[in-house]
Amino acid sequence: MFSKSCEYGLRAVIFIAQQTMHDNKVSLSTISKEIDSPQAFTAKVLQQLTRKNIVKSIKGPYGGFIIEKEKMDTKLSEVVRVLDGDSIYTGCGLGLKQCDASSPCPLHFKFVEIRDQLRTMLENTSLKSVADDMNADLTILKR
């Protein structure tokens, strides 16, 4: 459903948010290890998120990545928008180029419901709430 970039980006910001709540800065290598993603790929994703001010990169020997306190209320929908755009909310469930209400694919109307539910969930879920779940050991990022 999400691109690999978006999957890794979501995992990364959730992990960084969790660590930020413990006043930890997190290195790229630690993030990559903890979310099970290639380091070079993770670096590119984090660069995009840093440019959009979702994640902050701190340089130097005691540097790393954090999420500033005021950014902890960022919704997951914003992370998805930065990394994947809005196509997840408009694209065809089967990947067809020509699919809409007047010329639907076999999954069109069912997929519209799923997209709407997904949008609602992403728009109502903050980095803080997901990090809280991680800190309470209710969820995991690695298999």
The ranges assigned to domains in the chain are 4-135
CATH of 4-135, one of 1.10.510.10, 3.40.50.10860, 1.10.10.60, 1.10.10.10: 1.10.10.10
Mean pLDDT of the 123-132 span: 96
Residue-wise pLDDT for 91-125, tens only, equals 888 889 899 889 999 999 998 899 999 999 999 99
* pLDDT computed for residue 50 by the predictor: 97
pLDDT band at 31 (very low <50, low <70, confident <90, very high): very high
Which residues make Cβ contacts (< 8 Å) with residue 52, sequence separation at least 6?
82
The pTM of the full predicted model, rounded to 2 decimals, is 0.89
Confidence check: pLDDT of 11 > 80: yes
Helix axes 127-135, 76-84, angle to 10 degrees: 110
Cα separation, 8 vs 43, in Å, equals 10
Residue-wise pLDDT for 36-73, tens only, equals 999 999 999 999 999 999 999 999 888 999 999 999 99
* pLDDT computed for residue 143 by the predictor: 59
